[in-house]
Amino acid sequence: MVILGIETSCDETAAAVVEDGKNVLSEAIASSANLHTKTGGIIPENAAREQIKSMIPVINEALSFIHNPSSIDAVAVTIGPGLIGSLLVGVETAKTLGFLWEKPIIPVNHLVAHLYANWIEDDPQFPAVGLVVSGGHTDLVYIKDHGEIKWLGGTMDDAAGECFDKCARLLGLPYPGGPAIEREAAKFKIKNNKLMTYPRPMINQDNFDFSFSGLKTAVQNNLKIKHPAAEVQEAIVDALVVKSLKAIEKYKPKSFIVSGGVAANARLREKLQIKIKNLYIPKPKYCTDNAVMVATAGYYINKPTHWSKITADPNLFLK
């Protein structure tokens, strides 16, 4: 089954053609991150305006090798969660193509797509426990089988990526904050995990929830320390690792899967790799927003829908 995936939930405009969830035939992506670096963060209207400009060139690039659109079996598109103006660009484009080509649309939850990034190049076994760590979400889930996802816990306030972004701003580092903090932290060799200046909120609580807004306040109140970027990274990574291990201990899954932009972080990858056996993390380009994961999720959770029944939903969740 050949699926055209479309992703526009945040500041990326991406399209990809994937066969049977794994064979990536083409992928194209345009990011407006440079624009947001200038404003220190995403201004939703700016993101959507850029996506309107990028959508057709990106689709054109992804389809350039295809001579006849009838070789596409379905269009998978992210319908939420995300920024409404951004989502609409992708959703309405998918609907137009579905209408013209007379093909079904597969609506995809962006967070489920992040989880399915692990199926692009691998085949994690079920049951799995998954950690989604992105700019807007931090969730732990139990996955019994394809499409059978139970929410275990998540952040009470800021997402892990949001915390990276906000702390980077406090430290005078550019947007997006995660990669900026990672680069800054890499200049400092971490010795014996002794970076304990900032708190790891909620790690001793017996649940699968997170809280990152206190960490941001702690950074604000205590900026003049040695290596603040490395300290921030270590605090966020520790909170994610501790709760992941708690979920593994309780649910004893056959695999543990991680995804979302923050999963591109080398320190998080390293710490998880040390502690977890059947660990799956996509390569960094499939951790951050992309359309291949949308096509792959569409293939595995295949719910073909007529274009007239598809609407963008900025508040979709995993619960």
Feature table: binding site for Fe cation: 110, 114, 289
**Cα–Cα dist 10/46, whole Å:** 11
317 in helix, strand or coil? coil
Q: Which is nearer to ligand KG4, 86 or 255 (CB)?
A: 86
Output the smallest distance, CB 264 to Zn ion, in A. 11
For position 80 contacting ligand KG4 by CB under 6 A, the verdict is no
136 contact choice in Zn ion, ligand KG4, none (CB below 5 to 8 Å, kind-dependent): ligand KG4
Residue span binding ligand KG4 (CB under 6 A) among the ranges 34-42, 145-153, 159-167, 185-193? 159-167
**Cα–Cα dist 138/225, whole Å:** 27
E strand spans, 95-137: 105-109, 128-133
Binding mask 295-314 for ligand KG4 (x = CB under 6 A): --------------------
Binding mask 214-253 for ligand KG4 (x = CB under 6 A): ----------------------------------------
Q: Binding site residues, as ranges?
A: 110, 114, 132-136, 165, 178, 182, 265, 289
Residue span binding Zn ion (CB under 5 A) among the ranges 101-109, 128-136, 152-160, 278-286? 128-136
For position 182 contacting ligand KG4 by CB under 6 A, the verdict is yes
**Helices (H) then strands (E): counts for the chain:** 11, 10
Instruction: State the DSSP code for 40.
Output: T
CA dihedral angle for residue 229, residue 235, residue 239, residue 242, rounded to 10 degrees: 120
**Cα–Cα dist 14/159, whole Å:** 23
For position 139 contacting ligand KG4 by CB under 6 A, the verdict is no
For position 109 contacting Zn ion by CB under 5 A, the verdict is no
Quick one: 306 exposed, middle or buried, by C-beta within 10 A (0-12, 13-18, 19+)?
Answer: exposed
Sheet strands side by side (includes 255-259): 148-154, 138-145, 128-133, 255-259, 279-280
Angle at 308 between CA 117 and CA 48, to 5 degrees: 55
Q: Which is nearer to Zn ion, 118 or 218 (CB)?
A: 118
For position 289 contacting Zn ion by CB under 5 A, the verdict is yes
For position 265 contacting ligand KG4 by CB under 6 A, the verdict is yes
Residue span binding ligand KG4 (CB under 6 A) among the ranges 17-25, 51-59, 121-129, 160-168? 160-168
222 in helix, strand or coil? coil
Task: Say which amino acid occupies 85.
Answer: G
Q: Which is nearer to Zn ion, 138 or 211 (CB)?
A: 138
For position 290 contacting Zn ion by CB under 5 A, the verdict is no
By CB under 6 A, the count of residues binding ligand KG4 is 20
| Greatest Cα-to-Cα distance within the chain, rounded to the nearest angstrom | 60
What DSSP element (H or E) covers 17?
strand 12-19
For position 260 contacting ligand KG4 by CB under 6 A, the verdict is yes
Which residue among 5, 130, 154, 177 contacts ligand KG4 (CB under 6 A)? 177
Nearest Cα to Cα of residue 95 among 300, 311, 316, 315: 311
Chain contacts with Zn ion (rule: CB under 5 A): 134, 289
Chain contacts with ligand KG4 (rule: CB under 6 A): 10, 134-136, 161-162, 164-165, 176-179, 182, 260-262, 264-265, 288-289
